[in-house]
Structure 1
Amino acid sequence: MDKASISSTEGKPIRCKAAILRKAGEPLVIEEIQVDPPQAYEVRIKILCTSLCHTDVTFWKLESGPLARFPRILGHEAVGVVESIGENVDGIKQGDVVLPVFHPQCEECKECKSPKSNWCTRCTNDFLSNTRRYGMTSRFKDSFGEDIHHFIFVSSFTEYTVVDIAHLVKISPEIPVDVAALLSCGVATGIGAAWKVADVEEGSTVAIFGLGAVGLAALPVSLGSYDLLRGRTICGTLFGGLKPKLDIPILVDRYLKKELNLDGLITHELSFEEINKAFDLLAEGNSIRCVVWMDK
């Protein structure tokens, strides 16, 4: 974004396009919405490109229960540019390239300061409630003035979104933005699980199980006493054990040094207007990651 466009929108509502889920399982509808200015501890960003993972598909199909909310703006894998900032925002300025990440790191609570955990007590306890630390629960309104629900603190299927700074990671502008978007959820989770949690070594034999944010309770886990005596353990992880603000920049650096190959994971690229095709590709198992460009 150029400085003129930033200064003309700072502190004001922005009207833009968003892909809205009105009913479970139905195609998203691209509509004009209003995005409010950021409040304290928040940043409004212009989404450059976004992707989607199976968690988006799961919530797209979710018809009932406390987690099924309509209308809603899905999406949580993306990269953007800071358009404006609210009060009490440090370390991030207008024009910075940032990743909005569903998993928070407040950097202040006991767990965030501990090297043993990536759980953020201050923010993660309300992970699926989308409760914001300041003010209104929504920063989106549709053309009728009705609130639109956010999705796991990101909502990237829109030209602009508002994100709490606990869910933002500043990254190097040198990395291609489509590759950077992959690091905001699925790819980073897989890398982190092997690197941070399992500590996989060369020559190791591993089994990989994928679980969405809703399916966790459906998997029974048991371990016999003899297994415990043999030293076997079960260890769960969220976001691959990564602390977003600390570890994602490391992954970016490794990519730039050609130590981490991510390019082959992008199998499709589409325009924003084709976003429903991205859902079909993923749901049918025909894509690994489909990048949706907001300006194409």
Structure 2
Amino acid sequence: MSSPQPIECKAAVCWAAKEDYVLEDVIVAPPRAGEVRVKIVATGVCHTDEYTRSGADPEGIFPVIMGHEGAGIVESVGPDVTSVKVGDHVVPCYTPQCRNCKFCKSSKTNLCSIIRNTQGKGLMPDGTSRFTCKRNGETLFHFMGTSTFSEYTVLPEISVAKIDPSAPMDKVCLLGCGITTGYGAVVNTMKVEKDSTVAVFGLGAVGLACIMGAKAVGARKIIAIDINPKKFPIAKEFGATECVNPKDYADRPIQEVLIEMTEEEGFGGLDYTFECIGRPETMRAALECCHKGWGQSCIIGVAASGVELATRPFQLVTGRRWAGSAFGGFKSRDGVPELVNKYMQKEIKVDEFITHKFDLPQINDAFHAMHQGDVSVLFFDGMHICLVPFVLTFFWLLFMRDISASAPLCTSTVCPSKKASLRPLVA
């Protein structure tokens, strides 16, 4: 069998902080030892991508090919790759799982330390990039070890999860980040019990996934909190029993309101709370509305670099606990296939996150929509590219491409003449 050759394809490149994405022709080098080259079929975009593009990310490196919520097909493998083969369907994972480091061997965490240093520098484990811009020959950096905004990407073998080949990749790509993060925080990190009371701060994709997880484990009260009441109907569809807008209580701390709402036998407070926004003020509120003696709060939202938390120590002394969760506590290569199976068995929602369609050249408009409180999904439907927004604070972009056996391994087409088609999320 001949060795893999460089591939030319399309990618959305961010050349500098605060600049729009540019669709470029890029050269994707063959995979080296321990690496896998993947043909991306679908990819999502979430607020983490925008955080880096905005210039707020201290680890942000440019020019870069972003994207970290993807699904695709293994196109080629480098030497020494044993866990996947050409043709396998996979989900790229920004949290790797080498299974050999101190972290991977521990049952107490889902983190992996083996490639953290190079991944944070936008490079492959050997300290180099696999992306080059055809137009000017400039090296392009990787993003979160995944770079799914390219028709082809190269990843370490330890960063790809092999999934059921019958799973629709334009759906399960969303399990590469937000849904997994929120759902797992409930069922893995905090291990919420049946009949618990739960509050979720922030009704983006992660928040909705938390609600979905809380409903799945049988929580009896699930309070959804957001300053955008347009999100309340979908929150209730996912399982929220009550919705609260802090703006309706501008003269009172929201933690005081929530304690009052949950008072039983003279004491109020939630058994579990989840902060999915990334603001220190809401992190504090989420802790302080926990029930005295046993209430636990989980921080999922990522705050800006350098931000510090504050609360009165007595809040913790009297039994409340603070915790954090990354990627839902799932060890990636083990957990993602399990979630895909749950989706296929209709045990978790994924399709419900998708609503509207636009064209790929509108990727920058999609980011603008995200700032307006919408979430978007973009995917290739044959030669047509569609964008799907939705009233959340997270955002997905799906490149859905023809994945039949006869499809060319490298295509770079869009259909600008096709018009957007829309359908409402809620009737």
Superposition TM-score, scaled by structure 1 size: 0.88
CA distance in 2, matches of 1:108, 1:78: 25
Aligned amino acid, residue 12 of structure 1: Q
Aligned amino acid, residue 171 of structure 2: V
Q: Which residue of 1 aligns with 2:26?
A: 33
Aligned-pair CA distance for 1:275: 2.0
Cα 1:213–1:152 shift into 2, 3 Å: farther
CA distance in 2, matches of 1:22, 1:204: 46
Cα 1:50–1:268 shift into 2, 3 Å: farther
Aligned partner of 2:39 among 27, 41, 46: 46
Q: Which residue of 1 aligns with 2:133?
A: 142
| Structure 1 residue 192 corresponds to structure 2 residue 208 | no
Aligned-pair CA distance for 1:223: 5.5
Aligned-pair CA distance for 1:69: 2.1
Q: Which residue of 1 aligns with 2:14?
A: 21
Using the TM superposition, name which of 10-19 and 285-294 deviates more: 285-294
Q: Which residue of 1 aligns with 2:239?
A: none
Q: Which residue of 2 aligns with 1:218?
A: 307
CA distance in 2, matches of 1:160, 1:15: 9
Cα 1:222–1:132 shift into 2, 3 Å: farther
Cα 1:222–1:166 shift into 2, 3 Å: farther
Question: What are the within-5 Å matches in structure 2 for residues 224-243 of structure 1?
Answer: 224=313, 226-243=314-331
Question: What are the within-5 Å matches in structure 2 for residues 196-275 of structure 1?
Answer: 196-202=188-194, 203-208=196-201, 209=275, 210-211=277-278, 215=304, 217-222=306-311, 224=313, 226-275=314-363
Q: Secondary structure at the match of 1:279?
A: helix
Q: Secondary structure at the match of 1:130?
A: coil
Using the TM superposition, name which of 209-218 and 228-237 deviates more: 209-218
Q: Secondary structure at the match of 2:154?
A: strand
CA distance in 2, matches of 1:291, 1:182: 9
Q: Secondary structure at the match of 1:137?
A: coil
Q: Larger Rg: 1 or 2?
A: 2
Using the TM superposition, name which of 263-272 and 13-22 deviates more: 263-272
Q: Which residue of 2 aligns with 1:99?
A: 91
The superposition leaves residues 150-209 of structure 1 with CA deviations (integer Å, 9 ceiling, x where unpaired) of: 111111111111011121111112221121111001111111111111112344222432
Aligned amino acid, residue 14 of structure 1: I
Q: Secondary structure at the match of 1:121?
A: coil
The superposition leaves residues 24-47 of structure 1 with CA deviations (integer Å, 9 ceiling, x where unpaired) of: 222211111100001111100111
Aligned partner of 1:109 among 72, 81, 101: 101
Aligned amino acid, residue 129 of structure 2: S
Aligned-pair CA distance for 1:149: 1.0
| Structure 1 residue 132 corresponds to structure 2 residue 124 | yes
Is the CA contact (8 Å cut-off) linking 1:272 and 1:292 kept in structure 2? Answer: no
Q: Secondary structure at the match of 1:240?
A: helix
Cα 1:175–1:111 shift into 2, 3 Å: same
Using the TM superposition, name which of 68-77 and 151-160 deviates more: 68-77
| Structure 1 residue 151 corresponds to structure 2 residue 151 | no
Q: Which residue of 2 aligns with 1:3?
A: none
Using the TM superposition, name which of 122-131 and 237-246 deviates more: 122-131
Is the CA contact (8 Å cut-off) linking 2:119 and 2:125 kept in structure 1? Answer: no
Is the CA contact (8 Å cut-off) linking 2:90 and 2:163 kept in structure 1? Answer: yes
| Structure 1 residue 86 corresponds to structure 2 residue 78 | yes
Q: Secondary structure at the match of 2:114?
A: helix
CA distance in 1, matches of 2:141, 2:119: 14
Q: Which residue of 1 aligns with 2:172?
A: 180
Is the CA contact (8 Å cut-off) linking 1:269 and 1:291 kept in structure 2? Answer: no
User: Which segments of 5 or more consecutive residues in structure 1 lack a partner in the other structure?
Assistant: 1-6
Which structure's relative contact order is higher, taking Cα pairs within 8 Å and 6+ residues apart? 1
Cα 1:125–1:117 shift into 2, 3 Å: farther
The superposition leaves residues 73-98 of structure 1 with CA deviations (integer Å, 9 ceiling, x where unpaired) of: 11111111100001111110001110
CA distance in 1, matches of 2:30, 2:197: 49
Aligned-pair CA distance for 1:49: 1.2
Aligned amino acid, residue 149 of structure 2: F
Using the TM superposition, name which of 257-266 and 45-54 deviates more: 257-266
Aligned partner of 2:48 among 52, 55, 76: 55
CA distance in 2, matches of 1:215, 1:34: 33
Q: Which residue of 2 aligns with 1:279?
A: 367
Superposition TM-score, scaled by structure 2 size: 0.63
Q: Secondary structure at the match of 2:15?
A: coil
Q: Secondary structure at the match of 1:132?
A: coil
CA distance in 1, matches of 2:310, 2:179: 24
Using the TM superposition, name which of 77-86 and 170-179 deviates more: 170-179
Aligned amino acid, residue 25 of structure 1: K
CA distance in 2, matches of 1:46, 1:68: 25
Is the CA contact (8 Å cut-off) linking 1:271 and 1:294 kept in structure 2? Answer: no
Is the CA contact (8 Å cut-off) linking 2:124 and 2:155 kept in structure 1? Answer: no
Using the TM superposition, name which of 20-29 and 191-200 deviates more: 20-29
Using the TM superposition, name which of 281-290 and 74-83 deviates more: 281-290
Q: Secondary structure at the match of 1:206?
A: strand
Is the CA contact (8 Å cut-off) linking 2:123 and 2:142 kept in structure 1? Answer: no
Is the CA contact (8 Å cut-off) linking 1:159 and 1:294 kept in structure 2? Answer: no
